[in-house]
Amino acid sequence: MPSRVFTEGIGHTNETVSATVDSSGNLVMAKDIKLPAAGGIKDSSGNNLLTEAGSAVTLSDKVIPANSFMFRNLMYNGAMQINQRGTVSVSSGNAYGCDRFQVCRAGGDAQYDLKESTDVPVGKGFAKSFHIDITTADASLGASDGYFFRQQFEGQDLQRLMKGTSSAKTLTLSFFVKSSKAGTYIVELYDVDNTRQVSRSYSISAIDTWQEVTLNFPADTTGAFDNDNERSLLVQWWLASGTSKTSGTLNTNWNSNVDANRLVGLNVNVMDSTSNNFYITGVQLEEGDSKTPFEHRPIGMELSLCQRYCQKLRRFEMCKMRESDRYSIGTYQFVTEMRAAPTIPARTQEPDNLSVSVGEIDTLGFTCSLTRPGDGYGGTVSSGGVASAEL
């Protein structure tokens, strides 16, 4: 990079100080820059870029950050503050724990509880973590078996990454983790729209001890994300896998998916004992090659973001029928518009000879109708649980 002239703040007026750009894109000065009591750093036209007054240093509006200071973190609920479903016990299939974090299986018969925990890294500003507690072990994995948890992203939220263009962005993933199993773990980014994938490994050497992990992922100039409300990107933390995904060469650059290359080096099975626990918090995914401090969002804002995908329904009487009525209808409006028309949980009704139907389900709410076959008592329908519009 060419040398720049800083007219003040170096210690000698108009002293030329060379600067270079390192492999991560950071500006590296050949000398320390010390600001005088009255002065600062100016550009070649004499405009102030950085000034100091007392103990405060001020950046001018001419200094433009490479990335937005707000919403740097692409992750939802990275501090695990939102847990609308409560503790979830899983014996089969996929399930959500803390909002937006889904635990998945590819075969296998392990069982586990998904919890919000107060076990957190000390002095890091977190109050909650996501806890996977193994309750039934799976110590013998089939070749295609596996367990992982993930967060999924809509394509329209990823357009700023400019994937599939020459301006595609690199990504940095950081998190705090604690596990009962030492060894090598794998995190992968999976592009659903273009069936492309890239992996990174990390190691846990001290069991049951919080540690911070930072992983850098390259830019991908092939295959743009769709600009819609369907899933485009998966960030997946693997906890165990059979040999079908570990037998090749680890894919550390974006490529078309080859299963054998996804998890090479993974040598732990978090599911192999009921004594095992896995915790994670402080999850951040951001543009660029450098990790920045975790972006703590107000809890009301974080809840609203999560409610696009999951809303805890108020338990209330959706529709109530008088004794003289044979038909009644009620409506429910969601607190925020959801990603898509959600699934609605089962209703309860009194008395049980009433006919209940839910209809007109869309992103804003739904209706519920109540019909009685003949004369008799009035009735009510109530609901609770969560409405889900997850990806």
Tokens of 101: 């974090």
Same structural domain, 138 and 192: yes
Q: Contact, 49 vs 59, CB < 8 A?
A: yes
Same structural domain, 104 and 152: yes
DSSP codes of every residue in 109-122: --EEEEEEE----T
Tokens of 134: 């193994």
pLDDT of residue 316: 61
Give, as one character, the DSSP assignment of residue 7: S
Same structural domain, 242 and 119: yes
Same structural domain, 216 and 201: yes
Same structural domain, 198 and 104: yes
- The CATH number assigned to the domain holding 209 equals 2.60.120.260
Please indicate, yes or no, if residue 265 is contained in any of the structural domains: yes
Q: How far is CA 308 from CA 70, 134, 343, in A?
A: 20, 29, 13
Helix (H, G, I), strand (E, B) or coil at 262: coil
**Number of Cβ within a 10 Å radius of residue 388:** 18
Please indicate, yes or no, if residue 14 is contained in any of the structural domains: yes
pLDDT of residue 105: 97
Same structural domain, 296 and 316: no
Same structural domain, 282 and 318: no
Please indicate, yes or no, if residue 68 is contained in any of the structural domains: no
Helix (H, G, I), strand (E, B) or coil at 40: strand
Q: How far apart are CA 267 and CA 169, in angstroms?
A: 30
Q: Between vectors from CA 283 to CA 282 and to CA 288, what angle results, nearest 5°?
A: 120
144 closest CA partner among 244, 240, 237, 264:
244
Pairing of strands 231-241, 4-5: unpaired
Q: How far apart are CA 181 and CA 196, in angstroms?
A: 29
Please indicate, yes or no, if residue 10 is contained in any of the structural domains: yes
Please indicate, yes or no, if residue 165 is contained in any of the structural domains: yes
Please indicate, yes or no, if residue 224 is contained in any of the structural domains: yes
Give, as one character, the DSSP assignment of residue 137: -
pLDDT of residue 391: 98
Q: Contact, 187 vs 249, CB < 8 A?
A: no
Please indicate, yes or no, if residue 262 is contained in any of the structural domains: yes
DSSP codes of every residue in 336-378: S--SSPPB-PPPEEESTT-EEEEE---SSEEEEEEE-SSSS--
> What is the length of the chain?
391
DSSP codes of every residue in 203-231: EE-STT--EEEEEEE----S-PPPSSSSE
Same structural domain, 201 and 150: yes
Helix (H, G, I), strand (E, B) or coil at 271: coil
Boundary of a domain, candidates 254, 272, 306: 306
pLDDT of residue 38: 57
What's the domain count of the chain? 3
Q: Contact, 129 vs 281, CB < 8 A?
A: yes
Q: Contact, 170 vs 287, CB < 8 A?
A: yes
* Ramachandran class of 31: left when φ > 0, alpha when ψ lies in -120 to 50, beta otherwise: beta
Same structural domain, 252 and 116: yes
Q: Please list the rounded mean pLDDT of every run of 10 residues in the chain (391 residues).
A: 39 55 62 60 79 72 71 97 98 98 97 98 98 98 98 98 98 98 98 98 98 98 98 99 98 98 98 98 96 96 98 75 72 94 83 80 91 67 85 98
Q: How far apart are CA 22 and CA 385, in angstroms?
A: 52
Same structural domain, 228 and 280: yes
Boundary of a domain, candidates 40, 59, 78: 59
Show the domain range for 321: 310-388
Boundary of a domain, candidates 275, 306, 337: 306
Same structural domain, 284 and 144: yes
Same structural domain, 314 and 302: no
pLDDT of residue 60: 76
Q: Between vectors from CA 16 to CA 2 and to CA 50, what angle results, nearest 5°?
A: 90
Please indicate, yes or no, if residue 193 is contained in any of the structural domains: yes
